[in-house]
């Protein structure tokens, strides 16, 4: 059926040869800043630097360790890494809890440079142009100070009442030193601080990251929180065991097909598997345990076996119904959790085990797809915090090894509903989907990883029969109150945005359902009515092949299975291409889009009632005026929403309400992306084309602050035939990352689609993007995407659609796609300057017409073939 619907190959395209000498790059030097009393300001800087230097040296002397001059500079506006170096300071990172606070390292020798330039600023030396020397750097400084203990407390440690005599296991993140030797010296100094009351039980030194697992008393922990070398300290992650219900299905014949030898591999990093399960052994290639405290690779919990079943077969419910069990992947299993589905042991860094598993299976089995249905239930993303070390390491692995790493967003369980949201029973139903847009519903660590695919969940139907339970139970369905409908976001799914407002989750798939059982007053999500079926690890004990459970843990391996099918189609596809194809093929179920629209409309009346009440109870004239204008319009738009939030005059309950409701209508796309990402992928749409849907793709590389241009042929039927037409563009790239930077990704990319102008003007406008006569000055020639590119621009996976409803004859038969890179810090970083001349990216474009009689494929193919033939000749002349 799929072959009939999409019979043609997708078409590869190439960019247009042009002078790639440069794209206009705005001046990124110091902002022009002045202070009223320059000498007083200069004296303040010198005093603060002298004081913090003295404190650091004195403390180090008392502890018997080497002093390390690490401190924070609070600026009016941030300064580049290169400019800090000119003043004798090495940039280490941004302070997560403060704006424009940069953490730097210096030493006595380099401080001479700082003081020399300070002296010229202080003494009114002038440049050749008559300007005060170094004015913009020193005038930009607000303060210099040591970091304090609160600066170093991680998300979970902030809630811990530290007791001196209590022993803690801790994840200690050190500011990264340039070399491994320097990192090891730092560890020796940490050992001296710990003394007899603590020890380093494990450590990890990787790309721009240095982690320790420490066992220490509360007294030593307090000392570490004051140590300059320490970036952050937190409590290690702990996973949570989940119940799953066995399925008793009568399958007369079970004839699993052996996996094909050249099928792509998927590694499930989890609680292990049961190698002799009849539906696993036909797909299993290798299974290994990556913990010294566990005896073997056997799944004692069941989570890993369930995840593996979906990774191998995809939709197991379909396999059960048609009786065909044909694996689409070669299965690899890395056991990292115990019988309670917990990471461990306590004295080890868990991410080392996960990294070891990824490297082992990539190097020995050429595995490129890794499934992590794991997350820390006590660490959800709030913003205003560092990117997680776990996410940082996964992002680097995905980038450097060309991997597809698929991660679950995590679940909201009954404990979270009660403790974090103050909800239970029917209250959850009444507050859906409001609570999904509150900060407590944030992604679990490590789902904020930007170079990986994060997966949320949408609902399956709530079963009352269909062969999964006795028909006599159907009448009892009235006791079961589902929280959300089929195809809506699952009640338990966690939501974005991700770090720096990136789109997260990237994708969604079916992860089961959840309901409230009225008679027992319980929240149920892991029985045969709510869960999705997979494999049972206790098959040999109870004779049941299958289990049912719900969660993003089980939507995630479905996406891993789709990624494997793409690699099975073309094993040479880069990771970025796989991500872009998945996103480009994705769509939202109608229930998702209608649900957001209904929620937005329903909550407007709630907000207006709250604002009306607030107006009656305040004497603030400005607030009264603003609320009056909102009430007169009868809706809260995004502009007024932002004014209210910035006013500082709202109580916490009103602020929480307004934050969790989209402003009409500008925030609709943003809220849609937060729950469902780019949607549910369709593997057939990803891999093939048809007469009415033609997909183009390219793998390319680009220098920083440059652009590429692609010629998109627009066929006659697309122009002349009436009806809805769409052009969808997906872009994927994998930048270097640093978890201590607010600009976590080393660069960003975006795209524009233009029409009705020729190639020469397109190239000129792209090259002048920060001057007049640029792309953004265009009117109808600039295609208006949905979501707007500003909503997705920070994401390393981007997808947007341009819809055409009226005949676009005046714009011609050729559009141009412009892909742009924008450096953030990669060219200022010594470790990347020599190794990253160009950065890889992939782009996928789909032209689609909703009229069945349209014929587009052959015309597009012929025109693309002509372009491919012409390009080598052009390149020879460039």
Residues noted as catalytic? 270, 303, 553
User: Pick from 711, 730, 695, 694: which is nearest to 842 by CA?
Assistant: 730
* Distance, CA of 197 to CA of 207 (rounded, Å): 30
* Distance, CA of 412 to CA of 820 (rounded, Å): 38
* Distance, CA of 646 to CA of 638 (rounded, Å): 12
User: Pick from 865, 826, 841: which is nearest to 708 by CA?
Assistant: 841
The contacts of residue 54 (CB under 8 Å, 6+ apart) are: none
* Distance, CA of 283 to CA of 649 (rounded, Å): 61
The contacts of residue 219 (CB under 8 Å, 6+ apart) are: 164, 165, 197
CA dihedral 480, 486, 489, 491 (to 10 degrees): 10
Cβ neighbourhood burial of 675 (10 Å; 0-12, 13-18, 19+) = buried
* Distance, CA of 244 to CA of 424 (rounded, Å): 21
Render the burial of 231-240: b for 16+ CB within 10 Å, e for the rest: bbbbbbbbbb
The answer to whether the beta carbons of residues 247 and 544 sit under 8 Å apart is yes
The answer to whether the beta carbons of residues 436 and 675 sit under 8 Å apart is yes
The answer to whether the beta carbons of residues 308 and 339 sit under 8 Å apart is no
The side-by-side arrangement of strands in the sheet containing 101-106 is: 90-94, 101-106, 69-75, 141-145
User: Pick from 89, 234, 233: which is nearest to 174 by CA?
Assistant: 233
N-to-C CA span, the chain: 47
CA 507, distance to chain mean position in Å, is: 11
Beta-sheet pairing, 198-206 with 209-217: antiparallel
Q: Write down the residue that tokens 């930077």 correspond to.
A: 741
* % helix, strand, coil for the chain, step of 5: 35, 25, 40
* Distance, CA of 372 to CA of 271 (rounded, Å): 11
* Distance, CA of 336 to CA of 291 (rounded, Å): 6
Sign of the Cα torsion 583, 589, 590, 595 reads negative
* Distance, CA of 836 to CA of 830 (rounded, Å): 11
* Distance, CA of 769 to CA of 24 (rounded, Å): 7
**Strand ranges inside 603-706, DSSP E:** 688-689, 693-702
**Strand ranges inside 327-387, DSSP E:** 330-335, 369-372
* Distance, CA of 126 to CA of 131 (rounded, Å): 5
* Distance, CA of 204 to CA of 173 (rounded, Å): 10
* Distance, CA of 505 to CA of 245 (rounded, Å): 27
* Distance, CA of 284 to CA of 297 (rounded, Å): 13
Write the DSSP assignment of 115-159 as a string of letters: HHHHHHHHTT-B-TTSPBTTHHHHTTEEEEE---HHHHB-TTGGG
N residues, the chain: 878
């Amino acid at each position: 059926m799929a072959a009939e619907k999409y019979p043609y190959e997708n078409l590869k395209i190439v960019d247009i040869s042009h002078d790639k000498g440069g794209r206009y790059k705005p001046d990124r030097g110091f902002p022009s800043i002045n202070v009223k009393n320059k000498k007083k300001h200069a004296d303040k800087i010198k005093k603060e630097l002298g004081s913090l230097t003295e404190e650091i040296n004195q403390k180090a002397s008392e502890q018997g360790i080497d002093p390390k001059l690490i401190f924070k500079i609070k600026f009016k506006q941030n300064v580049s890494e290169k400019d800090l170096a000119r003043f004798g300071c090495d940039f280490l990172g941004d302070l997560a809890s403060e704006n424009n606070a940069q953490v730097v390292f210096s030493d006595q020798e380099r401080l001479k440079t700082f003081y020399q330039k300070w002296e010229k600023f202080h003494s009114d030396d002038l440049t050749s142009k008559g300007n005060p020397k170094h004015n913009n750097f020193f005038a930009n400084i607000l303060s210099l100070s040591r970091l304090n203990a609160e600066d170093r407390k991680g998300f979970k440690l902030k809630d811990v009442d530290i007791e001196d005599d209590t022993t803690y296991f801790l994840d200690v993140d050190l500011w990264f030193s340039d070399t491994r030797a320097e990192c090891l010296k730092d560890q020796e100094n940490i050992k001296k601080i710990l003394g007899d009351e603590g020890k380093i039980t494990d450590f990890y030194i990787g790309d721009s990251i240095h982690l320790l697992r420490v066992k220490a008393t509360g007294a030593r922990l307090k000392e570490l929180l004051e140590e300059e070398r320490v970036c952050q300290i937190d409590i290690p992650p702990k996973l949570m065991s989940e119940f799953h219900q066995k399925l008793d299905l009568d399958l007369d014949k079970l004839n699993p097909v052996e996996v094909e030898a050249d099928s792509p591999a998927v590694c499930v990093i989890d609680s292990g598997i049961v190698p002799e399960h009849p539906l696993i052994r036909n797909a299993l290639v290798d299974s290994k345990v990556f913990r010294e405290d566990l005896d073997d690779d056997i799944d004692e919990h069941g989570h890993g076996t369930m995840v593996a079943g979906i990774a191998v077969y995809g939709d197991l419910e379909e396999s059960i119904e048609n009786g065909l069990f044909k694996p689409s992947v070669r299965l690899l299993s890395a056991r990292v959790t115990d019988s309670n589905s917990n990471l461990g042991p306590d004295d080890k860094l868990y991410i080392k085990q996960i990294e070891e598993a990824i490297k082992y299976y990539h190097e020995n089995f050429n595995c490129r797809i890794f499934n992590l249905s794991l997350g820390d239930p006590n660490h959800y993303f709030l913003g205003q915090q560092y990117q997680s070390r776990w996410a940082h390491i996964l992002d680097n692995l995905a980038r450097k090894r060309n991997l597809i790493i698929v991660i679950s967003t995590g679940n909201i369980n009954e404990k979270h509903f009660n403790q974090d949201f103050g909800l239970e029973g029917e209250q959850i139903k009444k507050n859906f989907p409001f609570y999904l847009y509150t900060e407590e519903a944030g992604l679990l660590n490590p789902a904020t990883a930007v170079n990986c695919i994060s997966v949320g969940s949408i609902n399956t139907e709530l079963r009352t029969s269909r062969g999964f339970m006795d028909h006599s139970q159907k009448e009892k369905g009235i006791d079961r109150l589902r929280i959300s409908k089929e195809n809506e976001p699952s009640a338990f799914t966690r939501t974005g945005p991700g770090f720096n407002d990136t789109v997260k989750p990237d994708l969604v798939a079916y992860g089961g359902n959840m309901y409230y059982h009225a008679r027992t007053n319980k929240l149920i999500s892991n029985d045969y009515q709510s869960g999705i079926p997979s494999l049972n690890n206790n098959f040999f004990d109870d004779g049941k092949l299958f289990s049912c459970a719900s969660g993003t843990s089980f939507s995630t391996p479905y996406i891993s299975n789709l990624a494997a099918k793409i690699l099975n189609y073309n094993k040479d596809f880069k990771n970025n291409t796989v991500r872009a194809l998945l996103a480009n093929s994705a769509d939202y179920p109608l229930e998702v889009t209608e649900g957001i629209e209904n929620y937005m409309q329903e909550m407007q009346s709630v907000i207006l009632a709250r604002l009306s009440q607030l107006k009656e109870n305040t004497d603030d004239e400005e607030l009264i005026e603003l609320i009056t204008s909102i009430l007169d319009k009868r809706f809260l738009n995004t502009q007024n929403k932002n004014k209210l939030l910035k006013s500082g005059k709202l109580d916490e309950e009103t602020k929480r309400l307004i934050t969790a409701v989209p402003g009409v209508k500008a925030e609709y796309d943003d809220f849609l992306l937060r729950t469902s990402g780019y949607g549910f992928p369709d593997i057939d749409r990803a891999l093939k084309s048809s007469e009415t849907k033609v997909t183009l793709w390219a793998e390319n590389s680009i220098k920083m602050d440059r652009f590429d241009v692609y010629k998109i042929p627009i066929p006659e039927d697309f122009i002349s035939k009436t009806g809805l037409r769409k052009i969808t563009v997906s872009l994927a790239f994998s930048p270097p990352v640093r978890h201590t930077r607010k600009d976590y990704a080393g660069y960003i990319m975006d795209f524009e689609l233009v029409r009705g102008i020729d190639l020469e003007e397109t190239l000129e406008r792209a090259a002048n993007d920060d001057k007049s006569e640029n792309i953004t000055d265009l009117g109808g020639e600039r295609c208006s995407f949905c979501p707007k590119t500003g909503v997705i621009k920070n994401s390393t996976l981007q997808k947007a659609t341009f819809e055409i409803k009226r005949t676009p004859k005046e714009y011609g038969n050729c559009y141009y796609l412009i892909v742009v890179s924008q450096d953030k810090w990669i060219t200022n970083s010594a470790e990347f300057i020599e190794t990253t001349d160009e950065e890889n990216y992939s782009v996928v474009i789909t032209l689609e017409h909703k009229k069945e009689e349209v014929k587009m494929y052959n015309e597009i193919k012929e025109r693309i073939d002509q372009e491919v033939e012409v390009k080598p000749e052009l390149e020879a002349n460039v």
